Chains A and B, each alone.
Chain A
Amino acid sequence: MNEKIMGINRNFSRFNKKMAELMKTRNMTIQSLSKEAGIAVGTIQKLLTDPSCNPTISSIEAICNILGASISEMIGQDEKMNTLNGSSVYLLEWEELPISLDNIHQIFADRQRKTIKTSFPVGKNAFALVMRDNSMLPLFPEQATLIFDPEKIPKDNSYVLVQTNNYKTIMFKQLLIDEPFKYITSTNPLFRDNIIKLDGQDKIIAVLVQSQLNF
């Protein structure tokens, strides 16, 4: 059922489907969602089964927060609205890395996660990390939220997450390409001496698409 409210195409049958899908991936029951979102069980049942129901914005918001999806994703706004509203990504811990496109959804679904809203749309496999040091100053101060997309192709001067074989750690650095060689470096001059040449075993995990400064 499509309905046009305030110029936005809302598709409630899509809402039902999306809600059921997300509940399944997060192993959530109607009762657990009702408890966490603070919404009556009956309302959630109705939202799941009745495509003609018209939920309030506050109910949608509470459900979206628990399920880790943006409202635009849930109600299926048209493409133009999506590009204006951006989307949400999961916040991961550095310890959970490395990740690959094969195991990314498993990592996303394994526990309740905080989501970060992006002001611009990003790929569906994008994730967020919090900057943990000052090695990438001045552009990326400590505690800045970094949003990465593993599907993006890195270019010269891109900011990337790299898994190096020698250092056995995951690093956030700037990529410098001088064909056929690739190097990674910090932007902070105090860390600049440490330029690392990448070899065939080193792997670029994801490319930075957005950074948010926290206030």
Chain B
Amino acid sequence: MIFTLLKKFFGIKAIYPENTFKIVAINGQPDCKNLEVVYQVSGKSTINMDKPEVLVNELMHIKGFSKNESGLIHDLFCMEKSMPDFRIMSMQFEIDPIKFEIEDIGSSHTLLLTAKEIIASNKIMEKFSPNDLTMIYYQLFKEDEIAQKMMKAEIKKLQTEKQEGNLYVLKNSG
């Protein structure tokens, strides 16, 4: 009793000896960020479910698995962590400039952003897969190309107007 109270007071967690738990199943997919490890207390019918992230963060907990299984949990955690947080769901071509419909994989929330808006924030950019980033950059360069073309045409038009104006002055000056 006193020992339990002391443990609570000092925030000491139980240290589970190796092989206390064993993995029963792994649910979900790493790219959907919904992996869950289903594990059982050895010799008991108690089954629990946790995300690999939770198990890795609770060091006391992960030590309760066998070496192979704790390695597997680490791998699952790294795999899930390395997956992109955002993905492109669709592109809207009716809107000018094109908008990307982006899904936050963790929360399933979607938002609409242009290529320029995405590139403006490093924090958002980091969360995409290389394939999605290629699409975003491609679109950005295309939009820039069009903008440059329009700007050149406008400059040309201005120059022509200026030349025509000069000619008019010349013609009417004498």
Q: Which A residues form the contact surface with B (CB < 8 A)?
A: 119-120, 138-139, 141, 152, 157-159, 187, 207-213, 215
Q: Helix, strand, loop or mixed for chain B's interface?
A: mixed
Given contacts A120-B92, A208-B93, contact A138 B135 (CB under 8 A): yes
The answer on a CB contact under 8 Å between A213 and B142 is no
Q: Which residues of A contact B131 (CB under 8 A)?
A: 138, 141
Chain B residues closer than 8 Å to A212, beta-carbon distance: 89-90
Asked whether, in the complex, the Cβ of A213 is within 8 Å of the Cβ of B88, the reply is yes
Known contacts A211-B93, A215-B87, A119 near B101 by CB under 8 Å? yes
Number of interface residues of B (CB under 8 A): 18
A139 touching B92 by the CB < 8 A rule?
no
Q: Is the CB of A119 within 8 A of B89?
A: yes
- B92, B139, B142, B146 — most chain A CB neighbours (10 Å): B92
Q: Give Cα A158 to B96, complex, Å.
A: 11
Chain B residues near A157 (CB, 8 Å)? 142, 146
Query: What distance in Å separates the Cβ of B173 from its nearest Cβ neighbour in chain A?
Result: 36
Q: Using Cβ atoms and an 8 Å threshold, which residues of chain A touch B94?
A: 120, 152, 209-210
Given known pairs A119-B101, A138-B134, A138-B135, the reply for A211 and B91 (CB within 8 Å) is yes
Bound together, the chains give a CA A122 to CA B61 distance in angstroms of 52
Residues of the A chain whose Cβ atoms lie less than 8 Å from the Cβ of B139 = 139
Residues of B85-111 whose CB lies within 8 A of A:
87-94, 101, 110
